[in-house]
Amino acid sequence: MKTAILISGRGSNMEALLTAAADPDYPAGIALVLSNRPGAPGLDKAAARGIPTLVVDHKQYDSREAFEAAVTDALADAGAELVCLAGFMRLLTDGFVERWRDRLINIHPSLLPAFRGLHTHEQALAAGVRLHGCTVHFTRPAMDEGPIIAQAAVPVHPDDDADTLADRVLAAEHRIYPLAVRLIAEGRARVENERVLVDDAAIPQTPLINPAG
Ligand code: GAR
């Protein structure tokens, strides 16, 4: 499945997807990495792996719609069938999201629907939750909403700060994003009544309990 990745920065989730897609058995190939920010470090990382990259700088456009029209053209040129938001920090219009309905996915650093928006690790620490995590979901017009494809939970440690917690969550992000793309590309994940059904899903049998004793 021809896949495009939209980034704004570091691109570590993009790297996880590129690594997965480098396996000939992986059912998705990365046709384009597009950044709205010219200096995004992820661009060089993708180019170093021989992946086509493109900058569509939102600052060069008068409106969100004009910016998104340029992004849409680039995605069409690349033949993208699936679009992955990976640390893409621009809000998208309803028109763009609806155009890509069920073909546009996002990774968010919390167990949605908890902790939408920014600073999710600070939010989790402030709430005192014992388990935190990350979510890959189909994108809908409302921010950080949409049918959930995969989630990973990690324990919050008593001495965590936002950085240590972010590192633990990020390692989990790098596992579930390639998994979610694989499920979609294999045709095993589909949206029905705004929930995702996964064919032949392997379900873990043990709870993650924190504190463990
Ligand atoms: C990731 O933690 C991702 O979940 C988050 O930004 C980071 C990007 O890192 N995304 C959001 O907060 C979107 N609401 P990366 O550029 O190294 O993948």
* pLDDT one-digit tens code per residue, 12-32: 999 999 999 999 999 999 999
pLDDT at position 135 is 98
Exposure string for 102-120, b = 16+ CB within 10 A, e = fewer? bbbbbbbbbbbeebeeeeb
Tell me which amino acid residue 61 is.
Y
Q: How does strand 29-35 pair with strand 53-55?
A: parallel
Share of the chain above pLDDT 70, in %: 100
Best probe residue, ligand 1, of 13, 14, 165 (max atoms within 8 Å of C-beta): 13
Mean pLDDT throughout 149-157? 98
CB atoms within 10 A of CB 193: 6
* Reported confidence tier of residue 211, pLDDT bands at 50, 70, 90: very high
Are 98 and 142 spatial neighbours (Cβ–Cβ below 8 Å)?
A: no
Question: Is residue 108 annotated as part of the catalytic site, yes or no?
Answer: yes
Distance 154 CA to ligand 1 centre (A): 16
pLDDT at position 88 is 97
Q: Which domains does the chain have, with CATH numbers?
A: 1-100 (3.40.50.170), 107-200 (3.40.50.170)
